[in-house]
Structures are given as structure tokens and as C-alpha cells.
């Protein structure tokens, strides 16, 4: 089956986590083309599994836009060895994003350093790491996208938890860095509309899924768009008003529901919900 890339799903991108338990990246990439999805956001472990060269070949062969590479970051450290490993990993991530001509390298900044309870120190380390890596990313032609995560992840995954904090870092660091607006993480924020408007053309991505009530797992129980409580069209309208005209990237971690369904069904429903909900 062949489809054109100007159909009803032309504005949809698939974050490859959505069907990572059913398919390899080598299977996901051509499936996007079959379903009319025009963008893809691969994860680095999936890239490593089939190789960067093969990933590039497949994506170019299907004429897909790489809306982001997931992910860089995890910037906090307790030892010099951890610090060096972090920089090494992020420099490799920048190279991968450059090779794939990604619109951005998504950054999850990391939580408290191992053994630490000092949140201000963690945020200082994040700022230091970003300031070190940003000139290298600029030189490689890669734009960095800070993704603020819900406060439930502050300790272990991301000490940048609001779009306001991400905007502050962008203000401090200058060109070449922006934000990824993942509605799962920011929908609750009373300052969301103000901070989306403030971000403006620094918005590099819009990630969509839904917040289920009840949520049974802090990481692996995201909902399909329309199945939860997030007003997705309202947030999309905010980012479009701010100037964002890129893809909506569906990213669903769902160990008990969507990762157990046939991947073709998942992509079909993603497309339907993109048209009816997003």
C-alpha cells in the first residue's frame, strides 16, 4: 500500500516509543509511510539496535521528517566519571541528530544527582551542562529542545518541571535552544497559556497523548488522545497562536494497554484520534 504525504495525517508524527514493544525501528519507519504519517521521532536505543546508517537510509527512503531524536540530557552527576559519561553521551546524541537532520534533539534534563537532596544544585548542573553543549550543538546544526516534565518526575528524571523554567533557561542561553511542549507534562500548569505565548518561536515540538483518571503507573500509563482529561485542542490552539506550525507528535507509554495491541491497530487509532481530537 502506498500513500501520499499530503493526506489527512500529514501533520502527524510518530514517536517510536508508541509501538516500541511490538516493532523494531526498522518496522516502524516504513509503517509510518504506509499509514500516511509524515514524521517520526526515534529513540536512541532503537537507533543503536539497527545502526545509525540504516536508520538514516530508512527514514530518507520513506521521505519522513525527523521531528526529534529522543533523547539527550540526564545532566546531573555526583562524580567526575558520571559527568564525563554524561557529556560523552550527549555529544553522541548531537551527532546522531545531525546525521538524521532532526528538527531538534529532545532533552530530558535529569533529576537529583545520585545521593543528593539538593534540588537547586541539580538545576545549576543542568544550566552548566547546557551552556557547555550548546555551542557544540550550534556548530553541528542541531537545535536543542528542553522538555519540562511533570513534577512527579522531579527527583529522578527532570528537575525542570514547568515551561516557565524551560523558558528561563532559553532566555539565559540564547540562540539554538528551545522547548518541547509535551501536553502530558504541562497540561496542569496554571501559567501554561502565558508561558506558551512567551516561548513563541522557541517551540520546537508538540507532543500529544492523554492523562488518564485514574493513572495506575507514573511512567507507563499514558492514554490515547481523547481517552483522558486533557483539553488537547485548547493547548494545540495555544501553541499555534504562538507561531508553531509543525507536527503533532504522538508519544504513548502504555505497558498494559497500547503496547499490548497489534501495532497496526495502534497506528490506525492514532490517525483517527489525530483527525478527531488533536
**168 inside domain:** yes
Range from 4-13, 94-103, 140-149 carrying the lowest mean pLDDT:
4-13
Query: Which residues lie closer than 8 Å to 261 by C-beta, 6 or more apart?
Result: 22
> What is the mean predicted confidence (pLDDT) over 261-270?
98
The pLDDT, as a whole number, for residue 2 is 38
Number of domains into which the chain is organized: 1
| CA dist., res. 104 & res. 145, Å (int) | 6
Residue 140 near residue 98, CB atoms below 8 Å:
yes
The pLDDT, as a whole number, for residue 5 is 55
The long-range contacts involving 32-35, CB below 8 angstroms and separated by at least 24 positions, are: 32/62, 32/64, 32/267, 33/2, 33/3, 33/5, 33/62, 33/63, 33/64, 34/1, 34/2, 34/3, 35/3, 35/9, 35/267, 35/268, 35/271
Helix (H, G, I), strand (E, B) or coil at 132: helix
**4 inside domain:** no
**5 inside domain:** no
pLDDT in tens, 10-56: 999 999 999 999 999 999 999 999 999 999 999 999 999 999 999 99
pLDDT in tens, 204-254: 999 999 999 999 999 999 999 999 999 999 999 999 999 999 999 999 999
What's this model's pTM, rounded to 2 decimal places? 0.97
**58 inside domain:** yes
pLDDT at 3 over 80: no
**118 inside domain:** yes
| CA dist., res. 43 & res. 271, Å (int) | 21
- Grid coordinates representing 110 are 535529569
The pLDDT, as a whole number, for residue 122 is 98
Q: How confident is the model at residue 1 (pLDDT cuts 50, 70, 90)?
A: very low
| CA dist., res. 278 & res. 273, Å (int) | 7
**70 inside domain:** yes
pLDDT in tens, 114-171: 999 999 999 999 999 999 999 999 999 999 999 999 999 999 999 999 999 999 999 9
**154 inside domain:** yes
Domain range holding 212?
A: 12-276
**Domain at 167, CATH number:** 3.20.20.150
**82 inside domain:** yes
> What is the mean predicted confidence (pLDDT) over 173-179?
98
Amino acid at each position: 500500500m502506498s500513500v501520499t504525504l499530503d493526506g489527512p495525517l500529514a501533520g502527524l508524527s510518530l514517536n517510536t516509543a508508541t509501538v516500541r514493544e511490538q516493532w523494531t525501528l526498522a518496522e516502524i519507519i516504513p509503517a509510518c509511510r504506509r499509514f500516511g504519517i509524515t514524521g517520526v521521532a526515534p529513540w536512541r536505543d532503537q537507533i543503536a539496535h539497527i545502526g545509525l546508517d540504516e536508520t538514516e537510509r530508512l527514514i530518507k527512503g520513506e521521505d519522513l521528517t525527523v521531528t526529534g531524536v529522543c533523547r539527550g540530557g540526564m545532566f546531573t552527576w555526583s562524580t567526575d566519571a558520571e559527568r564525563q559519561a554524561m557529556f560523552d553521551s550527549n555529544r553522541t546524541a548531537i551527532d546522531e541528530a545531525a546525521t538524521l537532520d532532526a528538527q531538534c534533539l529532545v532533552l530530558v534534563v535529569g533529576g537529583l544527582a545520585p545521593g543528593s537532596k539538593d534540588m537547586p544544585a541539580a538545576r545549576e548542573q543542568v544550566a552548566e551542562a547546557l551552556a557547555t553543549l550548546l555551542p557544540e550543538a550550534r556548530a553541528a546544526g542541531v537545535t536543542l529542545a528542553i522538555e519540562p516534565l511533570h513534577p512527579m518526575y522531579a527527583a529522578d528524571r527532570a528537575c525542570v518541571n514547568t515551561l516557565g523554567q524551560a523558558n528561563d533557561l532559553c532566555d539565559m542561553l540564547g540562540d539554538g535552544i528551545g522547548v518541547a511542549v509535551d501536553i502530558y507534562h504541562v497540561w496542569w500548569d496554571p501559567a501554561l497559556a502565558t508561558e506558551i505565548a512567551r516561548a513563541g518561536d522557541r517551540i520546537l515540538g508538540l507532543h500529544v497523548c492523554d492523562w488518564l483518571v485514574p493513572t495506575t503507573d507514573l511512567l507507563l500509563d499514558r492514554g490515547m488522545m481523547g481517552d483522558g482529561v486533557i483539553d488537547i485542542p485548547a493547548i494545540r490552539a495555544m501553541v499555534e497562536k504562538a507561531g508553531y506550525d509543525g507536527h503533532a507528535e504522538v508519544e504513548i507509554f502504555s505497558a498494559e494497554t497500547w503496547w499490548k495491541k497489534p501495532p497496526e491497530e495502534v497506528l490506525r487509532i492514532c490517525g483517527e484520534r489525530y483527525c478527531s481530537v488533536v
